[in-house]
Amino acid sequence: MKTDEDMRAFKNRLFEQLGILGGAFSSPKRLELLDILSQGERTVENLARQTGLSVSNVSQHLRILRNARLVKSTKDGLYVHYSVADPEIIAFWGSFRSLAVSHLAEIREAIRANLDDQDELTSLETKELQKLLAAGEVILLDVRPSEEYEAGHLPGALSVPLDKLREKLDELPRDREIIAYCHGLYCVMALEAVKILREKGFKARRFETGLPEWRAMGLPVEEE
């Protein structure tokens, strides 16, 4: 029969391990790294470029995330590639962000301040997008970097990275609405793409769901 001391020792061990997981989420930069990795596999060098951190600093953060079993790594020659350890982590990250938006007024204010056209540009629902794509009524534009597109993208999406969009405008049809997407709710690239397209006379909207949320819904993903 378990004694009170046994139960206390068990709880201490349990919450110690939960604390390791919670500690991994305690750094803003580790949260950003996790957000990037939820899009797909990255090297340490790529993560350093995207976050503005040094390679050594990124490596330290990744070590903490790996110790918490949140990410895993594989080595390919001179490069180490990191990815999210389990699809459940991506689903948890999505729920974590949703909770933050619903409970923290500061986040809602930041979204309103930086995504001021959000209500107008993100009215497209997932089922509506699928219906429009099936009918051939819209063009789906992936404005993320090409390497992210190649690692995985929404079915039927065309790759036109935001920094290449202006020079690719003549290649886009004007007889169909263009739906742009990027990393999800917090990403401004699709918003910028929509603004550019509308300025040039295209009918365009933003789809706020990113690849991780799409995957979490059990929907198919294409790879190059």
| pLDDT digits 0-9 by tens, 130-174 | 999 999 999 999 999 898 898 899 999 999 999 999 999 999 999
H or E segment and range at residue 71: strand 71-76
Give the domain ranges of the chain.
4-85, 113-216
Q: Is 182 a catalytic residue?
A: yes
Active-site position among 182, 197, 204, 211: 182
Lowest mean pLDDT among 12-16, 110-114, 160-164, 192-196: 110-114
Please state the CATH superfamily assignment of the domain spanning residues 113-216 in this structure: Rhodanese-like domain (3.40.250.10)
d(CA 32, CA 189): 16
Domains 4-85 and 113-216 share a fold: no
CB 204 within 8 A of CB 197: yes
Per CATH, which fold does 4-85 belong to?
Arc Repressor Mutant, subunit A (1.10.10)
**The whole model's pTM is what?**
0.74
d(CA 26, CA 22): 6
